A and B are shown apart, each in its own frame.
Chain A
Amino acid sequence: MPLGSLERSPPPFFKQGTSALTKLVMFSALSFGLMFADQHYNIVQPARWVLSLIVFPVQWVALRPQALWDHFDDVFESKQDALSAVEQARSQLLNQSVRASQVEQLMLENRDLRQLLQLRERLGSPAMAAEVLYEAADPFTRKMILDKGALQGVQTSSPVMDEQGILGQVTRVHPLVSEITLVTDREHSIPVLNTRTGARGVAFGESGGAPLLELRYMATNADIEEGDMLTTSGVDGVYPPGIPVARVVKIERRADSVFARILCESLARVQGARHVMVLEPVKLTQPSFKDLQPPPLAPVKGGRG
């Protein structure tokens, strides 16, 4: 027996509006259209911008409890924790100062060598600090949301790193926030360099469940060992060269395949990063290939003049 109600107006008998089935067909078709457009073209980006502005206040409210909790957590952090953090920072500083003292000499040496080779001075890539707001809730991808957007000058395809290494790449920019695809996402690939052997390769996000990278298309007999460090190789025009990306953790050499299955662990904290750096894509800070080509020779007029 359905629950009766004291509703004063009787339900409409004949005028029921569009039927539910019609609406289902209409809105499903619209959804499929949107999904197709989102997947293959860039035309739904304005719609995302508008909707993200609508959703932003709700998100802001939803983030408050977490922010409050973090605040109190910081305030009531024990003295022991603070002291151990200081101790750790001090020992780290000591380690770094040893290396820092060598930097002067290395820079000098580097400058001379570059001048010798007549290479262009490598520009320092401009960077912007940002904070991770939250991890995107979509279980089919691995993405994070940053608190800086188009209004702060974030551009798409900017590399993002934390203090350990490359975290990912900015793939969508909204007015107030931006979205980064992590290196462990299945759709993401990054050209890397094995620092031990100098061999180049491409690391893809692993398609299984674990947040790992997979170094694909390396021959079964390639010289690679567990523990090898992979850094960005800089051939892609997006990531600046020489930034750590991952460490090789597992190598499976199979008889039935030409390629070895090499799994790597990301050095950046892909699951718990808070503060990150957004770098400018390399192709914006370096001259393009066209600029480097010599200007075409002026045609000689009149033959032998």
Chain B
Amino acid sequence: MIMPRGQQLLLPVNPLFMLFTMALALLLDMLQSMAWTGNAAWAPDWLALVLVFWAIHQPLRVGVGVAFVLGLLTDVHQTSLLGQHALTYTVQGYLATMIHRRILWFDVPSQALQVLPVFMAAQLLELSVRIAAGGLFPGWSFVVPPVLQALMWPLVTFILLAPQRRAPDPDKHRPL
């Protein structure tokens, strides 16, 4: 494959960095709910965002299985129905793996538009499962998180790809 001029080659990803960012996203979710939003329905789910990001960029390392385990942990933290987030994260992991070959051909804002349906599908699935299990309807602000998560996509892409954008041969002019 011929590289177009000016296209940067990325460094290989560090699996420890992936683990670190997912733990950080889980921490951020907890911090957000415990200190700030409580059980508000509009709070964005950072873990889902990071998970979908890695499932798209590193489908061989992060996929459905990792999503399921992280979903279980989220369920226990949120005291929701055990298996609810496991299900929605599994579905998001699957959808992300399905679109990963296509989506990376687009520029970042278009990618954001394409991950929106993934987040929205998971959110609607969560809503239908909980209503079926007898939960109360949390209000229409429930459709806000997928939009927020999609809006965060460029920012997350910038931050999570930054370590891979470093120079392969650092010298004293390019220390990073």
Contacts and interface: CB of A to CB of B under 8 A. Distances in A.
A11 B58 CA distance: 11
Contact of B10 (A3, A27, A32): A3
A52 B76 contact: yes
A59 B30 contact: yes
A135 B9 contact: no
Contacts of B130: 140
A142 to B, nearest CB: 7
Contacts of A44: 82
Contact of B134 (A61, A63, A138, A187): A187
A33 B94 CA distance: 19
A135 B30 CA distance: 11
| B: interface residue count bin | 35 or more
Interface residues of A, number: 60
A31 B93 CA distance: 14
A139 to B, nearest CB: 4
Contact of A62 (B27, B39, B137): B27
Contact of A135 (B38, B73, B82, B136): B38
A4 B105 contact: no
A139 B39 contact: yes
Interface in A41-72: 44, 47-48, 51-52, 54-55, 58-59, 61-63, 65-66, 69
Interface string A77-93: 00000000000000000
Contacts, number: 180
Interface stretch (A17-25, A94-102, A158-166, A235-243): A17-25
A1 B4 contact: yes
Interface string B112-155: 00000000000000000110011111110010000000000000
A30 interface: yes
A148 interface: no
A35 B45 CA distance: 21
B34 interface: yes
Nearest to B138: A139
A108 interface: no
Interface of B: 1, 3-4, 7-13, 23, 26-27, 29-31, 33-35, 37-41, 43, 60, 63-65, 67-68, 71-73, 75-84, 86-87, 90-91, 93-94, 97-98, 104-105, 129-130, 133-139, 142, 161, 164, 168
13 contacts: A1-B7, A27-B87, A28-B87, A35-B83, A37-B82, A65-B35, A66-B34, A134-B35, A134-B38, A135-B38, A135-B39, A136-B80, A140-B135
Interface of A: 1-8, 11-12, 20-21, 23-24, 27-28, 30-35, 37-39, 44, 47-48, 51-52, 54-55, 58-59, 61-63, 65-66, 69, 133-143, 145, 172, 179, 186-187, 207-209, 271
